[in-house]
Amino acid sequence: PHEYSGGMRQRAIIAMALACDPKFIIADEPTTALDVIVQDEIIDEIKNIQKKLNMIMMYISHDISVIAETCDKIGVMYAGNFIEYADTLALFDNPLHPYTKALMSSFPSIEGPKKKLNPVPGEPPNLLNPPKGCRFYPRCSYAQNICRNERPEFVEIESNHFLACHRGI
């Protein structure tokens, strides 16, 4: 196994996962540390397997491009909490949570004019001692007093678009 490439190891892991004939697979960072060409091959294999076996898959990834290419719905988490959930196209067209917006603007796009990438400001919270209210408020440019003290509820803002933010957009 130590002589296998990253793509070969990933294919072996996929084969082992499928050996049990699962109906649901959690793919945690399935393309991490793979070059772009192998990454694309793995994504295509996963999508083909998913369709062929009529399988539900949950992708966990920081790579927005992988999520956009593979998922029908997206749940965005910050510091262990869901902060936004929507259909993929709806989320990319209209991200509502300040963290989702910041996340989208921190990744390059091949479409349209070149733009400056904006990293999310500040530091992630200490999860051993998280902020009392919204966990994103110390880094949020829209933070209000309520954000510091009260955790926002996760509510449906639009049809099939859920949000945890006091701004209510």
pLDDT (tens digit per residue) in 94-144 = 999 999 998 888 777 777 777 777 788 899 999 999 989 999 999 999 999
Q: What tokens were used for 112?
A: 């349209």
- The predicted model scores a pTM of 0.82
- Of 119, 29, 106, the closest CA to residue 66 belongs to 29
Average pLDDT over the chain, rounded to an integer: 88
The type of residue at 165 is C
169 band by pLDDT with thresholds 50, 70 and 90: low
Percent of the chain exceeding pLDDT 90 equals 43
Domains of the chain: 1-71 (3.40.50.300), 72-169 (no CATH)
pLDDT, tens digit (0-9, with 9 covering 90-100), for 80-106: 999 999 999 999 999 999 999 988 887
Which is higher by pLDDT, 158 or 62? 158
For residues 3 and 160, what is the distance between their CA atoms, to the nearest angstrom?
46
